[in-house]
Structure 1
Amino acid sequence: MTENKRPVNSHRAYHAHVYFDAQTLEFASRLVHEAGERFPVKIGRVHEKLVGPHPKWSCQIKFTSHDFDQLVPWLDENRNGLSVLVHALTGDEIEDHTLYAWWLGDSLKLDLSVFDSSSIED
C-alpha cells in the first residue's frame, strides 16, 4: 500500500471514486449503495468500463463538506482493500484530480490528458 496524505475537508463539494474490477464488482456496488443509504450523497452509475481519467472500473459518490467528516472515514474503514480517490470540486479538473486529491488505499495513475480536449462522463 502506498502512503497517502490524509484527506482534508477544505472545499464545498467533493467526489469519491471507488475503483473495482470484475472480482470486486459485487462488493463495490454494495459499498456505494450502502453509502447512499447511510449518508445524504448522490451515487453515480457503477461503470463496468473505463470513464474519464479513471484507470479502472469505478463508481462516483458526490457529496458536500457537510458530509465529508463522516463519509470519508466510513469509506476508508469499509472499502476492504479497494482504492478510493477523494477529490474536491473547484471547477479546475486538473487541480481537483491532483492538488486537491487524496487516496484511500493504493493510489492509481489517472489519465489527466482527458481534461485537455473534452469533458468527462460522470
Structure 2
Amino acid sequence: MQDTTKIIDFHAHIYFDPASRDAAARIREGLSTRFEVQLGRWHDRPIGPHPKAMYQVAFSPEQFGKLVPWLMLNREGLDILVHPETGDDVGDHTDRSLWLGEKLELNVEFLR
C-alpha cells in the first residue's frame, strides 16, 4: 500500500476540439474563480501523451474533494483526465488516474 503523502499535487487535463472550445473556456473560467489552481496553456493540438487538444489544471490535494465533484457536475460533456503527481508519470497517468467522460487512449510511450 502506498501512502497518500506521496501525492505532491493533482492535474486535470480538460480535452476539447474546435466545436467544444467555448465549453472548455467556461470550465476554465469556473475553475479559476472558484478554486486555487494553476492553469496551464491552451494546447490546440495533441501534445505529449495527450491525444487531443487540452489544457492542464494543477491543484493541491486539499482542493481535490471540492474541485473534482465540481468538474463532475460542470464538465459540459468534455472528457477530463484527473491524476496525481507522485513522480511516476506512467503510473500517475494510467494506474492511478480517473476519467470523467470517455477514457481516451494516451501515448504512454511518451512518458517513459
TM-score (norm 2): 0.91
Alignment of 1:33-44 (within 5 A): 33-44=29-40
- Find the counterpart in structure 2 of residue 24 from structure 1: 20
Task: Tell me the CA shift for residue 12 of structure 1.
Answer: 3.8
Q: 1:115, 1:74 → 2: CA distance?
A: 28
Work out which of the residue numbers 77, 81, 87 in structure 2 matches 1:85: 81
1:33 and 1:43 in contact (8 A); partners too? no
Q: Hey, what's the Cα distance between the residues in 1 that align with 2:28 and 2:98?
A: 18
Alignment of 1:68 with 2:71, yes or no, is no
Gaps of 5+ in 1: 1-9, 117-122
Q: Which amino acid aligns with 1:37?
A: T
* Corresponding residue SS for 2:19: coil
Identity of aligned residues (%): 42
Letter in 2 for 1:42: Q
Q: 1:27, 1:98 → 2: CA distance?
A: 26
Gaps of 5+ in 2: none
Task: Determine the structure 2 residue equivalent to 1:13.
Answer: 9
Corresponding residue of 2:48: 52
Match of 1:105 in 2: 101
Structure with more of its chain in helix, by fraction: 2
Q: Take 2:87 and 2:14, find their aligned partners in 1: how far apart are those partners? A: 21
Shift of 1:54: 0.5
